[in-house]
Copies of this chain bind each other. A is one copy, B any other.
């Protein structure tokens, strides 16, 4: 039992909790996973725990501060060996990862506690989504948290939703998951699953 659960029940307080709920259900020992927006390394750490010693994680970020923080957290947890930290934009994903991926996480927007002028770019995000969905294995998922509230967030939301809505419904199950009793610009979640 921790702050995210009550007994064995996950508390779906917001999109990050929802994303973690799906990550825990869909990622298994031995899997290959990608954190497209490493940030403070919270998601990277969760992926590294879940894939176990036989799995592999690739984590991207353009900011050295994000790579450093994540490396420190992974090292403290004894999980650094499972993770390849890549200081580059996620639009370089296909140069590192090509197939058989179970899960790719995107946490869009800016680095929490960092420079808020450095934000994910809708064009490179679109490229990274395109690359990511192409390397998923059947049943694999993209887990995307969107923050429309920051500068440029509204355009990013539009790019991500348009791209998602254009996916062939026979090949991908595409879900938009937002809260009904929060402000309209609150963060929300998109889950894309490759069909089997």
Q: Contact residues of A with B, CB < 8 Å?
A: 6-14, 18, 21, 25-26, 28, 138-140, 161, 164-169, 172-182, 190-191, 193, 195-196
Contact A172 B181 (CB under 8 A): yes
In the complex, what's the smallest C-beta–C-beta distance from A61 to chain B, in angstroms? 27
CA distance A53 to B165 in the complex (A): 43
A12 in contact with B177 (CB, 8 Å): no
A173 to B173 alpha-carbon distance, docked (Å):
23
Q: Give the distance in Å from the alpha carbon of A164 to the alpha carbon of B179 in the complex.
A: 10
Report how far A180 CA is from B48 CA in the complex, Å: 30
Q: How many protomers of this protein does the assembly include?
A: 2
Q: How far is the CB of A75 from chain B (nearest CB, A)?
A: 30
Which of A13, A139, A168 is most buried by chain B, counting CB atoms within 10 A of its CB? Answer: A139
Taking CB atoms, residues of chain B closer than 8 Å to A28 are: 8
Measured CB to CB, the nearest residue on chain B to A15 is B175
Docked Cα-Cα span, A167 to B179, in Å, equals: 11
Contacts of A26 in B (CB 8 A): 9
- Contacts A12-B173, A139-B6, A175-B12; is A181 near B167 (CB within 8 Å)? yes
Contacts of A10 in B (CB 8 A): 25
Contact residues in B for A195 (Cβ distance below 8 Å): 11, 13
Assuming A10-B25, A168-B181, what are 6 further A-B pairs, CB within 8 angstroms? Answer: A6-B138, A7-B139, A11-B193, A12-B193, A169-B181, A176-B179
Chain B positions within 8 Å of A138 at CB level = 6
Q: How far is the CB of A188 from chain B (nearest CB, A)?
A: 9
- In the complex, the chain B residue whose C-beta lies closest to that of A24 is B25
In the assembled complex, the CB of A52 is this many whole angstroms from the nearest CB of chain B, namely: 14
Kindly identify which residue among B168, B169, B180 contacts A165, using a CB–CB cutoff of 8 Å. Answer: B180
Q: Is the CB of A174 within 8 A of B180?
A: yes
Among A14, A138, A169, A182, max chain B CB count under 10 A is at A169
